[in-house]
Amino acid sequence: MTATLDPAVETPTVEIGRERRRKEDAHLITGATRWTDNMVLPGMVHLAMLRSPHAHAKITSVSVAGALDLPGVVGAWTGADFPEQAGLPCAWPITADMKSPVRLPVAVDAVKHAGEIIAVVAARTKAEAVDAVEAITLDYEPLPVVLDMQAALADGATLIHPELGTNENAVWVFDSGTAGTGGSAVDALAAAADDPDQVVVERTFRQQRLIPAFMEPRSTVVDPTSDQITIWSATQIPHVMRVLIALSQGIPEHKLRVIAPDVGGGFGGKLQLTPEEVVTMMVARKLNKPAKYTETRSESLISAHHGRDQIQRLRMSARRDGTITGFDVDLLADMGAYLGTVGPGVPILGAFMFNAIYKIPAYRFTCTNVFTNKTITDAYRGAGRPEATFGVERMMDELAAELGMEPMELRKKNWITHDEFPFTTVAGLTYDSGNYEAATDQAVGLFKYDELRAEQSRRRAANDPVQLGIGISTFTEMCGLAPSRVLGSLSYAAGGWESASIRMLPTGGVEVITGASAHGQGHETAWSQIVADELGVPFDSITVIHGDTQSAPKGMDTYGSRSLVVGGVAVVKAAQKVVAKAKVIAAHLLEASEDDLEFAGGKFSVKGTDTSLGIAEIAWATFAAHNLPDGIEPSLDSEATFDPDNFSYPHGTHLCATEVDTETGKVTIRSYVCVDDIGVVVNPLIADGQIHGGLAQGIAQALYEEAQYSEDGQLTSGTFVDYLLPTAADLPSFTLGRTITPSTTNPLGAKGVGEAGTIASTPAVVNAVIDAIRHLGVTDVEMPCTPQRVWRAIQDAKSGSSSSGSSGSSGEERVPVAGAQVEGVLSTGVPTAPADDAGSNPDQNHSSNGGSA
């Protein structure tokens, strides 16, 4: 059992819990910024890339001769001109026999997706470089394009990487029966099928392809003109990048310095060693001149990694009283044409989250990663966990409908109660703390759940053309990536620790160095609050340094809601070491025993006296070093590296009310309430901001965004005209609540917040859309729930054809029903190709009917 605190009463510290305004803001609101693209160095050349217009082709000839003749052009190179280039590394080989293709920064001989780099030009100005790209001549021999995952796996499919002999990247399985964490899901589902007292619900859901779409396009500047090559890049991972370049490109790590200056968002999208970074480095080294490459937005959308893109075939069994008896998850995950830095592992992170907050006795997870002729996929906000949460929360609503139960009651019947923590799940994780009842009670109250249900009944009875829907998502996630041993057991190449150090300056200032490199999260403010409490020094006396491998030499960087619960804890541990070192010197200076000293409010006091010494005074005395104990080094500076024993498990209850116009299909969010339990909150202002932004991205997946490809493999949503990021006018105001059940896995009691809103909100919105029109016979609408898709699902239901996603009992058939749905409705007379034909791609159907939001 774990304790849930009353946030109004619990104020144990001075700074932690305060709504401090951010230190980061001053330069950002005045334009005094240091974005990578702002950098100008003497003699710097500008790069432009020639990118493949074909999704799959042999390059039969390529010549840069024409480009070299143009004004300002310093050099132009094809892939063959970079004999030094080596394949970009994938750090997560999820299985021993995983198939891993070589991914060169500049393609040689063949291209596997549209947007792949074929040649690069360096010129005096960006405009001259772009002009010169036009003068490069080349010939292609187009090859058949494979976009659909089922088609890619079919016998006789065109192989994207013939040398691998298959388009299957890997198959990863978790079975609670063999793992000893539960029963066999296969047996449980078979038994349920034969049991009149049980039901089996089977659904196929599609996680559409998304684009992280950070606001700052990626940019890299490389200065090769010193012993250490300096790389500035718009990246989330300066430390990891340095290691990856050293491992893959033959440049010793100690000859590299990586700097992430101001970075304009990432959301996982800058968690990557990119071809562009390596190309810029290679050109700078060839010319021995600084070089800069900044992508256009169109280049970003087509070549920076995408996210999600799964087909989920889910089967859940339950007794008629609602008790879940088994859950079988079978995924296809689209890797795109190559493997990203952690791409293959992203869907695997979902393996531990499909069981969510529920006590499920038997569980199996199978994921097949597939290569297609599309841009690679990799981490995007939530990375594996949004997919899992969507799958299970949609299934809970489907099961409730099947059983005729109230969907919240079904959840309550199956969730882990607060007195059952710590709880080891069927997926093998031990949830340390949580209180799903408390969060749900608060959310239900804020949402006026019962009143909305009553209104829904009235409007349903009145046959209102605009129907009200209520969507629930009671979620948890695993944050704080990650215990290094766990990462090791999952075959990830590196650990999950984080580093911090603290420098006590002689004049009273404090420098905090963190390995968690921020790009909008507010670490400078939050870390200052933590250190202010630990050391008793003023908030404004603290400076946080990050994002430069020279000044912050150790780190694992920022992703996976890890910064506070791993990096913040490292800061706490470093501060505690400072206090321990200071205590020895304080005892000496106060002529007291260490045992008689207590430290509070930045002062060491001799117990029972008014004799004390401030930590700033000790810092000066240590600097002067005139009177230190024998054998004590003249430094209070300390370093700590924290490796968590366990993940942390934020949870929450998200409730969404939608108005769905049954005549037009238009979905409007009427209200959105979320109560998140993220443990102890360092800065409520920052935490709420993270939730707001997370909600926007999760809602965007539900309603707006989709990376669509044409049948020849062109990204048709390749600009912000076509890829629909929500604007202020598209989103409601959110109502946030909070419960605080401190995590027991770290001394801060924090759990992580960066991804919560994204993970929880998508199923809440889609459940609300379905709930509004389920009485019309609709059981699914594929994401994004555009007006056209919603309208079509209603028309399908009226005409008696199956509504999207409601896969029947068709055994091993893995083709998503959406294709059939479109075929049934479109009356164009165009015959639909058979399912085993590479040309029959459900994505194509989507691209023909999407974009109507």
Partner 1 sequence: MTALSIKVDGVRYSDEVEPRMLLVQYLREKLGKVGTVIGCDTSNCGACTVHLDGKSVKSCSVLAVQANGSEVTTIEGLATKGQLHPMQQAFHQCHALQCGFCTPGMIMQSISLLQENPHPTEHQIREGLEGNICRCTGYQNIVAAVQAAAGEMAAAAPAEAGRHALATAGAAPADSSGVLA
Min. distance of Cβ 29 from partner 1 in angstroms? Answer: 4
- For the chain, counts of helices (H) and of strands (E): 23, 28
Q: Does 188 bind partner 1 (CB under 8 A)?
A: no
Min. distance of Cβ 808 from partner 1 in angstroms? Answer: 38
Stretch binding partner 1 (CB under 8 A), from 144-152, 293-301, 557-565, 765-773: 293-301
Min. distance of Cβ 687 from partner 1 in angstroms? Answer: 10
What are 737's strand-pairing partners? 675
Nearer to partner 1, 4 or 735 (CB): 735
* 108, burial (CB in 10 Å: exposed 0-12, middle 13-18, buried 19+): middle
Nearer to partner 1, 305 or 573 (CB): 305
Query: Could you write out the three-class secondary structure of 579-600?
Result: HHHHHHHHHHHHCCCHHHEEEE
Q: Does 800 bind partner 1 (CB under 8 A)?
A: no
Nearer to partner 1, 29 or 830 (CB): 29
Q: Which residues contact 40 (CB under 8 A, 6 or more apart)?
A: none
At 133, the amino acid letter reads V
Do residues 704 and 730 make contact, with C-beta atoms less than 8 angstroms apart?
yes
Stretch binding partner 1 (CB under 8 A), from 18-26, 74-82, 284-292, 306-314: 18-26
CA distance to 186, 230, 426, 693, 811, per residue, from 192 (Å): 10, 61, 18, 41, 15
Nearer to partner 1, 125 or 664 (CB): 125
Alpha carbon 308 to its chain's center: 10
Nearer to partner 1, 531 or 686 (CB): 686
Q: Does 296 bind partner 1 (CB under 8 A)?
A: yes
Min. distance of Cβ 264 from partner 1 in angstroms? Answer: 3
Degrees to nearest 5, angle at CA 355 with 351 and 358: 160
Q: Give, as one character, the DSSP assignment of residue 8.
A: T
Residue 469, both tokens: 């829907």
Stretch binding partner 1 (CB under 8 A), from 245-253, 437-445, 513-521, 626-634: 513-521
Q: Does 17 bind partner 1 (CB under 8 A)?
A: no
Q: Does 288 bind partner 1 (CB under 8 A)?
A: no
Stretch binding partner 1 (CB under 8 A), from 27-35, 49-57, 168-176, 177-185: 27-35
- Cα–Cα distance, 485 to 496 (Å, whole number): 9
Can you state the percent helix, strand and coil of the chain, rounding each to 5?
35, 25, 45
Task: Pick left, alpha or beta for residue 713 (phi over 0 → left; psi -120 to 50 → alpha; otherwise beta).
Answer: left
Min. distance of Cβ 671 from partner 1 in angstroms? Answer: 14
Nearer to partner 1, 327 or 380 (CB): 380
Query: Could you write out the three-class secondary structure of 158-169?
Result: CCCCHHHCCCEE
Do residues 655 and 724 make contact, with C-beta atoms less than 8 angstroms apart?
no
Of 587, 611, 502, 550, nearest in space to 228 by CA: 550
Nearer to partner 1, 50 or 699 (CB): 699
- Cα–Cα distance, 620 to 626 (Å, whole number): 10
What are 676's strand-pairing partners? 652, 738
Of 694, 737, 805, 850, the one binding partner 1 (CB under 8 A) is 694
Q: Does 695 bind partner 1 (CB under 8 A)?
A: yes
Stretch binding partner 1 (CB under 8 A), from 111-119, 541-549, 694-702, 792-800: 694-702
CA-only gyration radius of the chain, Å: 28
Q: Does 35 bind partner 1 (CB under 8 A)?
A: yes
Residue 390, both tokens: 């969507």
Q: Does 720 bind partner 1 (CB under 8 A)?
A: yes
Of 721, 800, 809, 812, the one binding partner 1 (CB under 8 A) is 721
Q: Does 727 bind partner 1 (CB under 8 A)?
A: yes
Task: Pick left, alpha or beta for residue 448 (phi over 0 → left; psi -120 to 50 → alpha; otherwise beta).
Answer: left
Min. distance of Cβ 682 from partner 1 in angstroms? Answer: 14
Of 734, 740, 752, 779, the one binding partner 1 (CB under 8 A) is 734
Residue 711, both tokens: 């049948």
Respond yes or no on whether the N-terminal peptide bond of residue 784 is cis (omega within 30° of 0).
Answer: yes
Nearer to partner 1, 8 or 729 (CB): 729
Q: Does 738 bind partner 1 (CB under 8 A)?
A: no
Site for partner 1 in 99-158 (CB under 8 A): 125, 127
Min. distance of Cβ 561 from partner 1 in angstroms? Answer: 15
Half-sphere exposure at residue 138, Cβ-oriented, CA atoms within 13 angstroms: 29
Do residues 709 and 147 make contact, with C-beta atoms less than 8 angstroms apart?
yes
Nearer to partner 1, 29 or 600 (CB): 29
Nearer to partner 1, 31 or 252 (CB): 31
Q: Does 25 bind partner 1 (CB under 8 A)?
A: yes
Q: Are strands 110-111 and 219-223 parallel, antiparallel or unpaired?
A: unpaired
Q: Does 725 bind partner 1 (CB under 8 A)?
A: yes
Min. distance of Cβ 126 from partner 1 in angstroms? Answer: 8
Nearer to partner 1, 34 or 607 (CB): 34
Q: Does 685 bind partner 1 (CB under 8 A)?
A: yes
Stretch binding partner 1 (CB under 8 A), from 35-43, 96-104, 552-560, 798-806: 35-43
State whether residue 375 is helix, strand or coil: coil
Site for partner 1 in 451-480 (CB under 8 A): none
Site for partner 1 in 249-268 (CB under 8 A): 262-265, 267
Stretch binding partner 1 (CB under 8 A), from 24-32, 152-160, 362-370, 446-454: 24-32
Do residues 474 and 393 make contact, with C-beta atoms less than 8 angstroms apart?
yes
Residue written as token pair 């490796």? 643
- Cα–Cα distance, 579 to 417 (Å, whole number): 40
Instruction: Fill in the per-residue mask, 756 to 785: x = in contact with partner 1 (CB under 8 A), - = not in contact.
Output: -x----------------------------
- Name the strands in the sheet holding 603-606, side by side, starting at the edge strand that comes first in the sequence: 597-600, 603-606, 612-614
Stretch binding partner 1 (CB under 8 A), from 19-27, 493-501, 636-644, 769-777: 19-27
* Phi, psi (degrees; rounded to nearest 5) at 417: -85, 160
Of 9, 462, 600, 728, the one binding partner 1 (CB under 8 A) is 728
Site for partner 1 in 522-581 (CB under 8 A): 522
Q: Are strands 168-175 and 667-677 parallel, antiparallel or unpaired?
A: unpaired
Q: Does 519 bind partner 1 (CB under 8 A)?
A: yes
Instruction: Fill in the per-residue mask, 199 to 238: x = in contact with partner 1 (CB under 8 A), - = not in contact.
Output: --------------xxxxx---------------------
Q: Which residues contact 286 (CB under 8 A, 6 or more apart)?
A: 75, 77
Give how many residues touch partner 1 by CB under 8 A.
Answer: 56
What are 688's strand-pairing partners? none
Residues of the shown chain interacting with partner 1 in the complex, contacts defined by CB under 8 A: 21-22, 24-26, 28-33, 35, 37-38, 40, 125, 127, 213-217, 262-265, 267, 296-298, 519-522, 685-686, 688-690, 692-697, 719-721, 725, 727-729, 731, 733-734, 757
